Amino acid sequence: MKLSRWYAMPVVATLLAVVSAAQAQQFTPHIGYVFPAGGRQGTTCDVTVGGQYLGTIANAHVSGAGVQAAFVEFSRPMSQKEFTDLREKVQELQQKKDKDAATFKEMADIRAKIMKNPPNRQANQAIVETVTVKITIAADAEPGQREIRLAGPAGLTNPLVFYVGQLPEFSETPVKAANPDMERFKAKAGKQEAPAPAAKPEMTVTLPAAVNGQINPGAVHRYRFVAHKGQRLVAAASARELIPYLADAVPGWFQATLTLYDAKGKEVAYADRNLFRPDPILCYEVTQDGEYVLEIRDSIYRGREDFVYRITLGELPFITSIFPLGGPAGAETAVEVKGWNLPVTTLTMDAKDKGAGIYSLSTRKDERISNLVPFAVDTLPECLKKGPNHDTASAQPVTLPIIVNGRVDRPDEWDVFRFEGRAGDEVVAEVYARRLDSPLDSVLKLTDAAGKQLAFNDDHEDKASALNTHHADSWLFATLPANGTYYLYLGDAQHKGGPEYAYRLRISPPQPDFALRTVPASISVRGGATIPLTVYALRKDKFAGEIALSLKNAPKGFVLSGARVPGNQDQVRLTLTAPPTVVAEPLSLCLEGRATIQGKEVRHAAVPAEDMMQAFAYRHLVPAKDLEIVVSGRYMSKMPLRIVGDAPVKIPAGGTARIQVEGGAFAFLDKVQLELSEPPEGIAIKNVSAARGGAEIVLQCDAAKAKPGLQGNLIVNAFASMPDTAGKAKAGAGQRRAPMGTLPAIPFEVVTP
């Protein structure tokens, strides 16, 4: 397909504009740490945010009311070329014979510039750039966890945790990565720097306090304070909670440890976790007046800028356990609470206006809010465990469906429940314990009246519980073989027990349902452009139906394509097309799923999430508070693309199918290449050819790899073939491929030929 010269020029110009916008969108800014990770009500603080591709950042946003954030400055190590040019300039100035005051000033200015942002080839590129943000927190801002994002023309960053606190704040000096390049520059420049001041061995704080720091390799931070006999101190560290997963560190997070020393340097308390959670909680009742030192370090002395911690320290209210772990919807539940410095021993959970779900409980002492603990609400009937029920002779009778609230009171103890069933009945037993902050590592087994084991389960993965790397809660499914009596046993896999080993045990027919996660939690898109998203379906009790997706109350112009999760599938990639209107400030979107379950329509909002890697290998869907989007600049508003024809596209196994695409850059197809993004195995583009008003895509299906019944969406990326000027200079004419954008998702189904 040839273009006349007068037409080719605007085509190339258009291509360049589209490519430039698409390439800019490729390098979406990303943040890896926030320091300090919190601030006190009624104060203003400077916060350093480290990440990558932050050069265009102009704004910062903190979720919730009462917090204002303002961009201050951007900083990055200079490139090696910038450093070389400046170094050569210094050498040139040094060689001048007649140096005047202006020369010495220029040399000093250059050295100062190098010292401020020296090159560092050993720095971690994912966190080497920094943005300083000034955060102002209103005196009445609601305390607790917020999310901070940075924004600019290149897009919106992922969210990270920022706390609004109630305590006086103390912060260490921000750390910088080691930089051998800087030492070499000093030696070559002949500049003798004054020796760095010795590291401060400890910081003195007054209680109560919130202390913030970053751990360098081998570093140990210490905080000295005065305490009095009888005080019940709580030191609660947040480290893994701030940055849940590190992609390039084992075990995948900053594993903090806390040690408390008395005035003589004797260790009086130590913590390296809180039950099964990695962030340590240290509780200690002071035995005598005097000075004490709290120490924090990494368990194996690792460190880096993103080894950020925040510790609340003092005689603070802290809940260690509750019972029961949940209660019925539409009613009030009296909850026994245990912990440190609590003003009450019982709380009331009012679930009169709440539906099924997990909510948070807390208490206050002297206006200070305790930690939050999860509390489950459900619509099924509930009862308490009645003991002893440790064998079939003493088994507690229950009528299905039921949720039992109980405890494994002692090590090596089984709780046994008896119910009547009929042949063909389907029964599900599920434990909620670890997901509700109980240390119980449950195990379930189901037997008939003769003791024959029908089903067994130790651990069952729940992807909705993204911060648990040991999915210790149990789930089993069984079809009863005959009419009669059945026994369900619940115990601890590690043979442990005690008052805190609480659980909620559901025994019922299957309750099919689903939850949704949308990735990513921050979306950056050009006006009129299309961007892929992934929606994960977390199916419950073997629900296998199709889930339709839609935007709820979204501004006009946003369009989802391929908006369904096919039956029996756990995820789908779809696309979101933005309106041409610029949305500079982050806008919250809500994606909703609906399905027909047992004859009723069920709707659930999708929870935004970040797909985070742990320790080079494992992935987790870490939930965020909001799904936020910014639409910056126009992209293809004058060149809309659309798929012509019926959807889904039917592709015969072993055959081909044709798709018509209209509009846009296909008017100059010889400069455009199309490529499938993460296609299912066996599906490929065979050919692309010009067609009236657009193009025709021929899809091919390999029958050996893609079987009839396979469904989903095809995501097609467009690339422009552009002259490679660097290639011309080196080896004659050359071409380079540059991203242009993404087509709306193409639903497909593989069918029998």
Q: Is there a contact between 550 and 574 (Cβ–Cβ < 8 Å)?
A: no
**Length of the chain measured in residues:** 753
Q: How many CB atoms lie within 10 A of CB 176?
A: 15
Distance separating alpha carbons of residues 315 and 693, to the nearest angstrom:
72
Q: Is there a contact between 486 and 424 (Cβ–Cβ < 8 Å)?
A: no
Please give the pLDDT value at position 89.
82
Q: Among 84, 104, 105, which Cα is nearest to 96's?
A: 104
Q: Is there a contact between 436 and 447 (Cβ–Cβ < 8 Å)?
A: no
Distance separating alpha carbons of residues 721 and 672, to the nearest angstrom:
6
Q: What are the structure tokens assigned to 751, written together?
A: 């069918």
Helix (H, G, I), strand (E, B) or coil at 704: coil
752: phi then psi, degrees, rounded to nearest 5: -70, 130
Please give the pLDDT value at position 104.
83
Q: Which CATH superfamily is domain 514-634 in?
A: Immunoglobulins (2.60.40.10)
- The CA-based angle 504-508-511, given to 5 degrees, is 95
667: phi then psi, degrees, rounded to nearest 5: -65, -20
In angstroms and rounded to an integer, the radius of gyration of the C-alpha atoms of the chain is: 30
86: phi then psi, degrees, rounded to nearest 5: -70, -40
Residue 222 β-bridge partners: 295
Q: How many CB atoms lie within 10 A of CB 366?
A: 11
What stretches of 250-372 adopt beta strand conformation (E)? Answer: 256-261, 267-271, 281-285, 290-298, 308-314, 318-323, 326-328, 332-340, 346-350, 357-361, 364-365, 368-369
Whether the ω angle into residue 143 lies within 30 degrees of 0, i.e. cis, is no
Please give the pLDDT value at position 266.
97
Q: Is there a contact between 696 and 658 (Cβ–Cβ < 8 Å)?
A: yes
Q: For 636-656, b where at least 16 C-beta lie within 10 A, e where not — what string?
A: beeeebebeeeebbebebbee
Q: What are the structure tokens assigned to 361, written together?
A: 């409980």
Which regions in the chain score pLDDT beneath 70? 1-26, 178-201, 634-641, 663-670, 722-735
Q: Quick one: angle between helices 101-116 and 80-94, nearest 10?
A: 160
Contact residues for 577 (Cβ-Cβ < 8 A; gap 6+): 528, 529, 530, 531, 558, 559, 561, 744
186's enclosing H/E stretch is helix 180-189
Distance separating alpha carbons of residues 255 and 296, to the nearest angstrom:
10
Instruction: Tell whether domain 642-751 is in CATH 1.10.1060.
Output: no
- What is the dihedral angle through the alpha carbons of 59, 62, 67, 69, rounded to the nearest 10 degrees? -20
Label the pairing between strands 694-701 and 683-691.
Answer: antiparallel
Burial class of residue 62, CB neighbours in 10 A (0-12, 13-18, 19+): buried
Q: Among 307, 271, 364, which Cα is nearest to 33's?
A: 307
Alpha helices, DSSP H only, in 27-70? none
Distance separating alpha carbons of residues 271 and 313, to the nearest angstrom:
14
Q: Among 240, 506, 278, 542, which Cα is nearest to 376's?
A: 506
Please give the pLDDT value at position 447.
98
What sign does the dihedral 353-356-360-362 (CA atoms) show?
Answer: positive
What stretches of 433-483 adopt beta strand conformation (E)? Answer: 442-448, 453-457, 475-479
Burial class of residue 38, CB neighbours in 10 A (0-12, 13-18, 19+): buried
Q: Is there a contact between 524 and 155 (Cβ–Cβ < 8 Å)?
A: yes
The gap between the terminal CA atoms of the chain, to the nearest Å, is: 33
Residue 309 β-bridge partners: 213
Q: What's at 561, amino acid-wise?
A: S
Helix (H, G, I), strand (E, B) or coil at 109: helix
Distance separating alpha carbons of residues 84 and 110, to the nearest angstrom:
12
Q: Is there a contact between 558 and 577 (Cβ–Cβ < 8 Å)?
A: yes
Q: pTM of the prediction? A: 0.90
Q: Is there a contact between 465 and 435 (Cβ–Cβ < 8 Å)?
A: yes
Distance separating alpha carbons of residues 472 and 481, to the nearest angstrom:
28
Q: Among 64, 253, 42, which Cα is nearest to 149's?
A: 64
Q: Among 332, 45, 346, which Cα is nearest to 168's?
A: 45
DSSP letter, residue 194:
P
Instruction: Tell whether domain 382-510 is in CATH 1.10.533.10.
Output: no
56: phi then psi, degrees, rounded to nearest 5: -100, 5
Please give the pLDDT value at position 503.
98
CATH 2.60.40.10 in the chain, residue ranges:
514-634
Q: What Å distances lie between residue 361 and 131, 140, 465, 738, CA to CA?
A: 35, 21, 18, 52
- State how far Cα 31 lies from the chain centre: 12
Distance separating alpha carbons of residues 52 and 33, to the nearest angstrom:
11
CATH 2.60.120.380 in the chain, residue ranges:
382-510
Distance separating alpha carbons of residues 339 and 355, to the nearest angstrom:
28
Please give the pLDDT value at position 180.
64
